[in-house]
Structure 1
Amino acid sequence: MIYNKFAIFTKLPFISLMLFSRFSLSEMLCELPTSLKGNITLNKSCIYSGGLTIADSYTSLDCNGAEIDASKFKDGILISSKGKEIKNITIKNCKIKNAIESGIRSSWLGRDTNKSKELNRYLKTPHKIIIDNVEIIKSGKNGIFIDDYSSFVTIKKSTIKYSGSTAIYIEHDSKNNIIDSNLIQFNGYKNDFPRREAIAIDSSQHNIIINNNFINNGLGGIFIYKNCSEQIHSGKQEIRKMHSNYNVIEGNHFENEKIGVWLASRQNKNLKKMDCGDEPIDIERFYFRDYADHNKVINNFFNYVKVPIIDFGKENNISGNVIN
C-alpha cells in the first residue's frame, strides 16, 4: 500500500479539531450563574470555579455531576446567613475539589461573642440544609464545616476523602444534624502524618451519625468532646455552655481506624497551652472536664480497629456493637 503524505497532512486539522472538541465537551470551563437563588442546575460537562455563596432561603443547587474547582477559594460553597434567616437549602450532585479550607461551609460568619447575644441566633444561622450525593476531595482543612448555631443540616449519600483536617466538623452550639450513609475515607492526614479524626462533634448535641463507612482516617472515626473554651483571651471566643450530649452513633462501619469512637476525647489531653476559659480539674491547669455524656454508641461494626470505643464520659449507652 502506498501512503499519500499530503493526504495525511490535509487531514490533521480535522483530526485536531475532533480531539479539541472532544476535550472541550468533557472538560469545559464555564461561568456560574450571576444569581444563586431559586432552582439552579449546572451543566454536567463543565468545570466551574469555586467560591460560590448561597445567601437566600429556598435555594436548590443541582450540580448535575459538574465539578467545582475551589483551589483558589477558602470555601467551595458557602451557605451564609449574614445574620438573617436562611433555610431550606439543597446542594446535590456536586464534585468539589481542592478548597483551601472547606468544601462546603454552613455559617453565620462573624465573632462567636456577637452571635451569642442574639436571642434568635438559631433562626439567623443556616438551618434545614440538605447536602446530598456530593463528592468532596482534598479540602485543605474540613470537607464540610457545620458552624456554630447551625441546625438541622443533613449530609447523606456523599463521599468525603483526603481532607487535611476533619471530613466533617460540627461546631459548638449546633444541634440536630444528621450524617447518613456516607463514605468517609483517608481524611485527617497532613504530609502523610495523622493529625485529626474523620468527624469532630465539638460542644454539640442531638446529632445522629448513622450507616456511614469510615475507612483509614488519620486519628480515628468519631471524636465527641467539649473543648475547654480555647483561646478565651483572644476576645473572639466565649465560654462554651453546650456539652456534647445526646448524640447517637448507630449502624456505622469502621475499617482500619486507630480509634473507632472516642467519647470525651479531650479528657486526658494536656491543654495548658490552649488558654482555656473553663475551670480546670487540677492545680497546674493542665486538664479540664470534658463533657460527652448521655450519648448512644449502638450496633456499630468495627473491623481491624485498634481501639473500637473509648468512653471517658458519663451515662453513655454503649451496646450491640460488633468487634472483628
Structure 2
Amino acid sequence: MKFFIAFLILISSGPALAEIAGAIDTVKLINNNSQVFIHGWACQKGRTDSIDVHLYSGAPAGSSDATIIRGAKANIKAADAGDINKVCKAYSEYRRFSLVLTESQWREHGGRKLYVHGIDSNGPNTTITNSGSFTIPERKVIGHIDPVHFDTNHNNFIVSGWACLTYSSEQPMVELGIGSKTIRSVVASRNSEDAVARACNTPSGSAHRFSFELPRYYMHDYQYQNIEVRGSLSGARATLNNSYRWQVPFMGDIPPLSDPESSYDSLPAGCPVGENVTSLSTDKLYCRMSSGQSINTQVKLSGRLFSNLVLDCNNGTLTKQLVIESYKQSENVYSVPENIVIKNCTIPSIRIIGMGKNGQSKDVVESSRLGVEHVKRVRDSAPHGIVFDNITIAANEETPFYIGPGVHYVTMQNSHFTGKSKNVVLYLDVDSYRNSFLNNIFETDTTNIVEIANTVKVYDKSRELVAIDGSSFNIFRGNYFAYLEAGGIYLYRNCGEGGAVRYSSPSFNLIENNRFYYNHYDGDKPGIFIGSRQGPTLLVLDCSADNVGNPPLAGSVTSNRDQAMYNVVRNNKFKKEVRIINNDNNNQTYGNTLY
C-alpha cells in the first residue's frame, strides 16, 4: 500500500517546471539621443536554447497599465557567459539580448517603467531582475522664465528664459501669452549656459534661450496682466516654469522713442513701427498719423501680430519702403499677416513677401522642387487680404510695388504711381493670384535713356509698366497708363531662372476699361502684350536652371513658353493706336478701341 501511494505521487507531480532567470543591466540613449538602448540577459534554467523576451512599459504583463512595446530573442553572445551559466544551470554562450526603441516608441512610452518578461516554454512568463527599476527617459518640453525687466534705455520690456525638448538639440517654439492673449512667438535658439544644457540633458553648447523684446508703447495695454510662456515641439507641449509668477508692470507715460539717427517721429501709441517681430494676432489696431506727418524709419509689418491693422497716414509720408512680410517660425511654418488697410499715404515703394523675398529665394526654390504642392505651400505662407487706398507711390529708382510669390487678395485702388523707376512699376511674381488694381494712375517713368554722341537716344534696359509673371486671376480695371515707351502690361512666365520650378502661368487675368495714353511715342512697344517672352526665343534667358526630374516633370520644367492663356482683354481705350499683342488663341481680346 505504501509503495502504491509513493508511485501515485511520483506520477502526479511530473517534471519540475524550469524557472526563468535574467536581469536588465543597462538602459541608455544612443545615436545622438535618438534611440533608447536596453541591454540584459535571460534564460530558462536547465536549458541551453535561447529564449524570447518581451518588453512592456508601465507595469508587468497582465496589468491594466501594461503596454507591450516589442520582443526579441536572448541569443547574443555573452562575454560573461560563465557567470550567467552558473545561474542558468546549463551551458550556452548565447544568453544576452538588446532592445532598441525607435524615436516614435520613445516618445510614446517616455517616463514609464520598464518590464522585461522571459518567455517560458512550460510555465509562467515571469519578469526578470531589475524590471520596474529603470524608467524610459522622457522627451518633454521644459523651460524657465527669467525675472522680467526693461532694457537699459527703458524703451523695451524684456521677457526671456530658456526652453528645450529634453534629450534633444531640436529647438522648440515658444509662445508668449499675456492675460488671455497670445501675442508673439519665437524659436528658442539663442546661446545658453551649460547649466541649461544639463537640465535639458543635451550637449554642452546647445542653444536653448529665447527673448521677447516688447516696445514699451505696445505693452501699455497689457500692464498688470499675468505672463505665460508655452513651449512646443513634435507634439510635446508645456507651460514653462515661472509662468503666472510675473506680471507686466505699470508702464507710466509712454516716452517718445529715439531713432539712432535722431530722425524718427513715433506713430501714435499702439502703432507698430520699425519692428521685425515674429508673430501672432492682436485686436484690430487703428493707427492715425498726424496730418502731414513724416515717418523717417522703415515701417515693416512682419507676421500675424500686424493682422487687422488699419494705418491711416492722414496725408502723411513714409519716407522709406513699406514692407509687409510673413515671418518664418520653423520649417514650413510661417506667421502670416492678413486683413490690413493702408490709406492716405505717400510712400516711395511697397514690397509684400511671403516664403521668400522673390521667386528665386532659397526656400522658394527648394519648395518648388518638391512637386506641384508647392503652389499651395507658397500661397499658404504669403500675406493676403491687404487694401491700399489713396496711395501716392513716388518712386525713387527702386521697384515701386512688388507682390511676391503666393501673395493674394491685395487691392490697390484710387492711387497714383509717379516718379522714376529703373525697373517695372508693378511686379506680380509667380503664384500670386486674385489681386485687384482699380482706378489707379500709372505715370512712373521706367525708361533708361542713354545718349549717343549727344544726338541719338536709345532705350537701354527699360522695362514695361506692369509685369504679370506667372500670376493669375488678377483684375485691372479703370486704370490710366502713361509713359508707355517701354510697354504697358506684359504677361509672361520666367522660364527657369534661379532654379525655381514655376507651376503657375499668367492666366485667367481680366484687363478691362483701362486707358492707354500714347502721345509722343511712335515705337512698337504694345500697351498689352500677352505671352511677351515665350522662353528664350524672344529674350536671351537661362531656361535650364529648373531642369529637375524628381519630382515628376511639370510646369516650367516641361515648357519654357509663357503658357499665357484664358486671359480676357476687353473694352480698353488707346490714344493714337490700339497696341495689343496676343500670342495664344485661348485668350479673348475684344472691344478695345481708340479714344
Band the TM-score falls in, shorter-chain normalisation: 0.7 to 0.9
Alpha-carbon distance in 1 for matches of 2:377, 2:504: 16
Q: Does 1:112 align with 2:112?
A: no
Count of equivalent residues:
274
Alpha-carbon distance in 2 for matches of 1:316, 1:277: 27
1:126 corresponding residue in structure 2? 383
Quick one: which amino acid aligns to residue 575 of structure 2?
N
1:250 corresponding residue in structure 2? 512
Query: What are the equivalent positions in structure 2 for 1:37-48 lying under 5 Å apart?
Result: 38-48=285-295
Query: What are the equivalent positions in structure 2 for 1:154-165 lying under 5 Å apart?
Result: 154-161=411-418, 162-165=420-423
2:296 corresponding residue in structure 1? 49
> Cα–Cα, structure 1 residues 164 and 272, in superposed 2: closer, same or farther, change >3 Å?
closer
Q: What is the Cα deviation at residue 249 of structure 1?
A: 0.4
1:310 corresponding residue in structure 2? 581
Contact 1:142 1:168 in 2 (8 A): yes
Give the unaligned 5+ runs of structure 2. Answer: 1-262, 274-281, 328-333, 357-362, 451-458, 549-558
Alpha-carbon distance in 2 for matches of 1:298, 1:251: 7
Equivalent residue for 1:67, pick from 312, 317, 322: 317
Query: What are the equivalent positions in structure 2 for 1:158-177 lying under 5 Å apart?
Result: 158-161=415-418, 162-177=420-435
Contact 1:290 1:313 in 2 (8 A): no
2:338 corresponding residue in structure 1? 87
Q: What is the Cα deviation at residue 177 of structure 1?
A: 0.5
**SS of 1:122 mapped into structure 2:** helix
> Cα–Cα, structure 1 residues 48 and 220, in superposed 2: closer, same or farther, change >3 Å?
same
Quick one: which amino acid aligns to residue 304 of structure 1?
K
2:272 corresponding residue in structure 1? 35
Q: What is the Cα deviation at residue 60 of structure 1?
A: 1.0
Contact 1:81 1:125 in 2 (8 A): yes
| 1:112-135 CA-partner distances (Å, limit 9, x unpaired) | 125556654423210011011100
| 1:181-216 CA-partner distances (Å, limit 9, x unpaired) | 000013322357461111110001100111100011
Quick one: which amino acid aligns to residue 31 of structure 1?
S
> Cα–Cα, structure 1 residues 272 and 182, in superposed 2: closer, same or farther, change >3 Å?
closer
Quick one: which amino acid aligns to residue 569 of structure 2?
V
Q: What is the Cα deviation at residue 50 of structure 1?
A: 4.0
Quick one: which amino acid aligns to residue 112 of structure 1?
V
> Cα–Cα, structure 1 residues 85 and 48, in superposed 2: closer, same or farther, change >3 Å?
closer
**SS of 2:434 mapped into structure 1:** coil
Give 1 or 2 for the bigger CA radius of gyration: 2
% identity of equivalent residues: 28
Q: What is the Cα deviation at residue 109 of structure 1?
A: 5.0
Quick one: which amino acid aligns to residue 563 of structure 2?
Y
Contact 1:50 1:77 in 2 (8 A): no
1:187 corresponding residue in structure 2? 445
- RMSD of the alignment, in Å? 2.4
Give the unaligned 5+ runs of structure 1. Answer: 1-27, 71-75, 98-102, 233-237, 280-286
Quick one: which amino acid aligns to residue 340 of structure 2?
I
**SS of 2:490 mapped into structure 1:** strand
Quick one: which amino acid aligns to residue 134 of structure 1?
I
Alpha-carbon distance in 1 for matches of 2:265, 2:541: 50
Query: What are the equivalent positions in structure 2 for 1:137-286 lying under 5 Å apart?
Result: 137-161=394-418, 162-191=420-449, 193=459, 195-232=462-499, 238-256=500-518, 258-267=525-534, 268-273=537-542, 275-277=544-546
**SS of 2:410 mapped into structure 1:** strand
Alpha-carbon distance in 2 for matches of 1:130, 1:218: 29
Q: What is the Cα deviation at residue 317 of structure 1?
A: 0.5
2:564 corresponding residue in structure 1? 292
| 1:243-281 CA-partner distances (Å, limit 9, x unpaired) | 1110000000000173110000002413345655369xx
Runs of 4+ in 1 over 6 A off after TM superposition: none
Alpha-carbon distance in 2 for matches of 1:278, 1:206: 27
Alpha-carbon distance in 2 for matches of 1:278, 1:44: 54
- TM-score, normalised relative to structure 2: 0.43
Quick one: which amino acid aligns to residue 290 of structure 2?
N
Alpha-carbon distance in 2 for matches of 1:85, 1:169: 21
Contact 2:395 2:444 in 1 (8 A): no
Quick one: which amino acid aligns to residue 311 of structure 1?
N
**SS of 1:60 mapped into structure 2:** strand
Contact 1:60 1:91 in 2 (8 A): yes
Alpha-carbon distance in 1 for matches of 2:572, 2:286: 38
Alpha-carbon distance in 1 for matches of 2:289, 2:337: 22
Q: Which has the higher contact order (CA 8 A, sep 6+)?
A: 1
Q: What is the Cα deviation at residue 289 of structure 1?
A: 1.7
